[in-house]
Amino acid sequence: MRITKLELKNFKRFTDLRIEHIPPQAKLVLLIGSNGSGKSSVFDAFQYLNSIKDGKSRDVQSNYFRKNIDAITEALVFFDDGSKVGTNGKANFSTQSFHTSSPFYGRTSFRQLSRLTKTSLGNIGSIQSDFDRPDFFIDRDNRFENDIDHITGNILKEVFQLQNPAQVISEKYINPINRALENIFGHANGTKLSLVEIIPPLEGKVAQVIFKKGTSTIHYDLLSAGEKEVFNVISNLMSRRDLFQETIYFFDEMDLHLNTKIQYNLLKEITENWIPEKSQLWTASHSLGFIEYAKHADQAIIIDFDDYDFDQPKVLTPEAKDNPDIYEIAVGKEFLSSLFRSMDVYFVENKDQDYYAVAGIDKAVFVAEKDRNSVFHKVRSGTFKGIVDRDYLSDEDIELIKAQYPNLFVLPYYSIENLLYHPANLADYYKGKNQSFDKGQYIDDLRTAKDEVVERLAYTLATKRLEYPYFGEPEFLAKPLQNRFKNKQENFDQAEFIGSSLKSSNFEDFYKNLPMKSYCTHLQQRQNIPKSDLAKTKWFHKTMSTLLQK
C-alpha cells in the first residue's frame, strides 16, 4: 500500500495543499524544508486519519487541526490500488480494505528515552492495536519501553518453548539488530556498536539492554543520544513491522543527533531492510545525509516544502533528483562551492536549471536563481559563475560584459529556448529519432513568423534594455558603459543596431535576438517535444560546453 496523492484543506499550516504524482514504486517519500515549513503537519494528517480505522474520537473542530475555525477541514489520501481514505471534518470514508490494524503507523520526534524506567513486563499483546500511539504529533511518543517489553516477552516464550533457544534467539533478535547497527555505525572498532544482552525487567529492575563498544560493555542508559535514537527506531520496527505489513510508516526527524554519514546509513538501512516491501516510509528532514540518500535511491522521491506561502493553494510534486537546490535546505547556497569542490557551480535563471542539468556537462552543477538580475548580482558580488540569457544584447555588449565580469556567461542567443529550438538542435533531435526534418523549411518558417512581429519587437528594444543590471556599480556612473543601459544615446544606438539585425533576412543575424520563448511557438516543427529531450542532444551539449570553456 503506497500513497500516490494527498489533499489537505484548512488543515494545520495549509489552506489547500495537494501533493501529486507520487510514483507507486516510491518506497521512500522524503519531505524536506526548513524548520516550521509544514512537514510535520502532513504527519498530523496521517495521525488523524488513523481515527477512521480505530474509531477514536478526534475533534477536528479544535484549533489544533483547523487553520480557519469557520471552515471545514478536509484530508484525503489516494493509494496505488485506486482506493482512498479521508474525512471532510463531518464524515469519514474509506474505500480501502486494510490488511493491517492501522493504515498509518507513525513516530513523533519526541520519542527518545534517556534511561529505562519500567521494572516489570506490561501487556505485550496490546501493541497489535497500536494503543500506545500519541494522539497528536506534538505529544511525546512513549512506545520504546513497550517495544522492549514485546521483544523480551517473545524471548521468554522462546526460552520455554524451544529446545535450542539460544541459537534461535540470536538469529531472530540479536543478529538482525547487530547487522543493522554495523550497517549504520560501521565496523571500525572505535565506532562499532553491538547488542550482547537483552533481559526483560524482572524483580524490580529495569531491562538489561547491554551493548559492546570496543572493549567496554555499556548499558542502554549510557549510550549517546544518537546511538539511542538508532536503537529506538530499530527496536520499534523489530517489534511491530510484522503487525504492519501493508502500511504507511511516517517517522519524524529520524536524523536527530546523527552526523551526515550515519544519517545516510540509517535511512538506507531502514528503507531497504526494515520497512516491509508493500509499505511506504514518509520521513521529514533538513539533513544532508537523508537528502543524499534519497537523491540516489531509485525507490525514493523528494518533496520540497521550503519557502512556500501555504496561505495560498499549493501543488507540490517530486523534485528532480539532479536539482542541486535540494541541498540548500541543509547547506546554504553560499556553501555550495565547498560542497561541490571538484565542480563548477553555475547560477542560472529560474527553470533553465532543469535543462542544463540534463545536458551532461562535465564537472558542472547548475543552481536556480530567481531571474537574470539575481544571477548577475550573485556573480558580481562573489566568486560564483553564472549563465544569463542574451536577451537584447549586441555582440559588442557581450564583449564588454565578459571583459568586466569574466565569470558571467551570456548565451549566444536570446534565451535557452533559442538553443533548444535552434535548427541544428532540432535536426540532431529528429536524427536521433530516425525522423525526417527539413532544416531549410524550418528556417523559412522562422523568418516568416519573425517578420510578422519584428516591428513590434523593435519598438520596445531601448526600453527593455533599461532593465539590465550590467555596469550598474558606482564606478561606472555616467560613463559610456553604464549609459548603454540608461536612457542615453549609447542605448539608443545599440537598440537601433539590434532592430536592424532583427529585420534582416539572414538567419544568424535575426535569430540572435529573437525571443523564441514567446514567439514562433506555433511552428509545427517544435510541437510536442519535451524541452528536456532537446537539452540531451549532442549539439546542445557541445554548444554549452564550448560557451563555458571561453
In a domain, 203, yes or no: yes
What is the CA angle 97-43-228, rounded to 5?
Answer: 110
In a domain, 232, yes or no: yes
Provide the pLDDT for residue 373. 92
Say whether both 274 and 408 belong to one domain: no
Please report which residue ranges of 186-287 form alpha helices under DSSP H.
225-240, 260-269
Provide the pLDDT for residue 66. 84
Provide the pLDDT for residue 48. 82
Cα–Cα distances (Å) from 106 to 31, 50, 201, 232, 459, in that order, read 15, 10, 26, 13, 61
Return the DSSP state at 411: -
Say whether both 388 and 485 belong to one domain: yes
**pLDDT bracket for residue 334 (50, 70, 90):** low
**547 with 473: CB under 8 angstroms?**
no
**pLDDT bracket for residue 478 (50, 70, 90):** confident
Q: Which residue has the higher pLDDT, 354 or 303?
A: 303
In a domain, 325, yes or no: no
Final residue belonging to a domain, choices 316, 346, 371: 316
Q: By residue range, what is the domain housing residue 178? A: 3-316
**74 with 7: CB under 8 angstroms?**
yes
Cα(219)–Cα(210) distance, integer angstroms: 5
In a domain, 541, yes or no: yes
Say whether both 10 and 90 belong to one domain: yes
What is the tally of structural domains in the chain?
2
Cα–Cα distances (Å) from 236 to 119, 398, 524, in that order, read 19, 62, 59
Name the least confident of 7-11, 70-74, 185-189.
185-189
Domain with 268 in it: what CATH number?
3.40.50.300
**4 with 25: CB under 8 angstroms?**
no
**pLDDT bracket for residue 33 (50, 70, 90):** confident
CA 110 to chain centroid, in Å, comes to 24
The x, y and z cell numbers of residue 315, run together, are 501543488
Neighbouring residues of 503: CB distance < 8 A, sequence distance ≥ 6: 454, 458, 510
Cα(131)–Cα(23) distance, integer angstroms: 31
By CB neighbour count within 10 A (0-12 exposed, 13-18 middle, 19+ buried), where does 277 fall? exposed
Say whether both 265 and 365 belong to one domain: no
- Can you give 8-29 as a three-state secondary structure string? EEEECCEEEEEECCCCCCCCEE
pLDDT for 101 beyond 70: no
Name the least confident of 133-137, 405-409, 543-547.
133-137
In a domain, 322, yes or no: no
In a domain, 116, yes or no: yes
In a domain, 163, yes or no: yes
Provide the pLDDT for residue 429. 97
Provide the pLDDT for residue 59. 54
In a domain, 324, yes or no: no
What is the CA angle 359-365-370, rounded to 5?
Answer: 95
Say whether both 58 and 202 belong to one domain: yes
Cα(501)–Cα(495) distance, integer angstroms: 10
Report the chain's mean pLDDT, rounded to a whole number. 88
Going through 98-199 in order, the beta strands assigned E by DSSP cover 104-107, 194-199
Cα(2)–Cα(78) distance, integer angstroms: 8
Hey, what amino acid is at 324? P
Cα(253)–Cα(226) distance, integer angstroms: 12
Please report which residue ranges of 309-438 form alpha helices under DSSP H.
336-339, 352-357, 372-380, 395-404, 416-420, 423-432
Provide the pLDDT for residue 380. 86
Provide the pLDDT for residue 49. 85
Final residue belonging to a domain, choices 316, 341, 370: 316
The x, y and z cell numbers of residue 362, run together, are 562535465
Sheet of 314-316, strands arranged across = 92-94, 84-87, 74-79, 3-11, 14-19, 314-316
Say whether both 269 and 140 belong to one domain: yes
Cα(49)–Cα(6) distance, integer angstroms: 12
Which of 262, 255, 254 lies closest to 186, judged by CA? 262
Say whether both 110 and 135 belong to one domain: yes
Give pLDDT tens digits for 512-542: 999 999 999 999 999 999 999 999 999 999 9
Which of 314, 295, 292 lies closest to 38, judged by CA? 314
Provide the pLDDT for residue 486. 93
Q: Which residue has the higher pLDDT, 12 or 387?
A: 387
Q: Which residue has the higher pLDDT, 84 or 453?
A: 453
**pLDDT bracket for residue 8 (50, 70, 90):** very high
Say whether both 410 and 534 belong to one domain: yes
Q: Which residue has the higher pLDDT, 345 or 301?
A: 301
Final residue belonging to a domain, choices 283, 316, 349: 316
Say whether both 258 and 338 belong to one domain: no
Provide the pLDDT for residue 314. 94
Cα(401)–Cα(279) distance, integer angstroms: 55
Say whether both 275 and 353 belong to one domain: no
Cα(228)–Cα(223) distance, integer angstroms: 6
Say whether both 359 and 408 belong to one domain: yes
**pLDDT bracket for residue 456 (50, 70, 90):** very high
- pTM score: 0.65
Cα(339)–Cα(133) distance, integer angstroms: 40
The x, y and z cell numbers of residue 159, run together, are 526460552
Cα(291)–Cα(285) distance, integer angstroms: 8
Provide the pLDDT for residue 128. 73
Say whether both 183 and 221 belong to one domain: yes
Provide the pLDDT for residue 30. 96
**pLDDT bracket for residue 332 (50, 70, 90):** low
The total of other beta-carbon atoms located within 10 Å of residue 306's CB is 15
Cα–Cα distances (Å) from 383 to 46, 107, 376, 380, in that order, read 45, 43, 12, 8
Give pLDDT tens digits for 261-304: 899 999 999 999 999 999 999 999 888 889 889 988 999 999 99
Cα(386)–Cα(370) distance, integer angstroms: 12
